[in-house]
Amino acid sequence: MHTTTSSLSLTRTLKRAAMPIALLLAAVSGTAQADTAIKTLPTVTLQGSASLRATCPQAAEVLQEALESTVHRLREEGVMQVRFTLVGQQISDVQATAGPARYRARVRTAVADLKCQGQSQVAQQHQFAINFSDS
């Protein structure tokens, strides 16, 4: 009888010890699946215009952050052409053409909100492309 009680006690102990391990494995497995899903979401990449990087040094990071939720929600690929005028620090006449039409309004708003440092009060034209793609 003592052997049966010891055996039953050992089985209960093993089950209790196994439960946290099973939960940990399930959590790790879920995290790995989430990491895989994140890697397949579309990304935003700026192309061209060295003058844009000089004038608006944070443009790539700011646009990535501003467009991230829209891109992840809509999941459309394409290349959008963007143009704007900069006078001093003031951005105007933002145009977004080609590429996914559903991104255009958000792109125009994000570009208009950029913090840029124009060198003079003379109008400067900037043009670049945004590549929306699965990476």
Shared domain for 46 and 106, answered yes or no, is yes
96 and 54 share one domain = yes
Do residue 26 and residue 75 come from a single domain? Answer: no
Tokens of 112: 């208009």
Q: Are residues 52 and 91 in the same domain?
A: yes
Inter-residue contact 110 to 66 (CB < 8 Å): yes
Cα 82 to Cα 130: distance, rounded to the nearest angstrom: 7
| 85 and 115 belong to one structural domain | yes
Q: Are residues 12 and 69 in the same domain?
A: no
Q: For residues 94 and 116, state if they share a domain.
A: yes
Domain count across the chain: 2
pLDDT in tens, the chain (135 residues): 555 444 444 444 444 444 444 443 444 444 444 444 444 456 778 887 688 888 999 998 999 999 988 888 998 999 999 999 999 999 999 999 999 999 999 999 999 999 998 878 889 999 999 998 876
How far is it, in rounded angstroms, from Cα 108 to Cα 105?
A: 5
Q: How far is CA 94 from the centre of its chain?
A: 22
- Mark whether 82 and 105 lie in a shared domain: yes
Q: Which two tokens stand for residue 123?
A: 């109008």
Task: Find the CATH number of the domain harbouring 68.
Answer: 3.30.2420
Which residues are bridge partners to 86 per DSSP? 91, 124
pTM: 0.66
Same domain for 115 and 87, yes or no, is: yes
Please report, for residues 15, 21, 31, 32, 118, the alpha-carbon distance to residue 27 in angstroms, rounded to integers and kept in the order given: 18, 10, 6, 9, 50
Q: Residue 115 has what DSSP assignment?
A: -
Range of the domain at 60: 42-134
Cα–Cα distance measured from residue 47 to residue 79, given in angstroms and rounded to the nearest whole number: 9
For residues 111 and 50, membership in a common domain is answered with yes
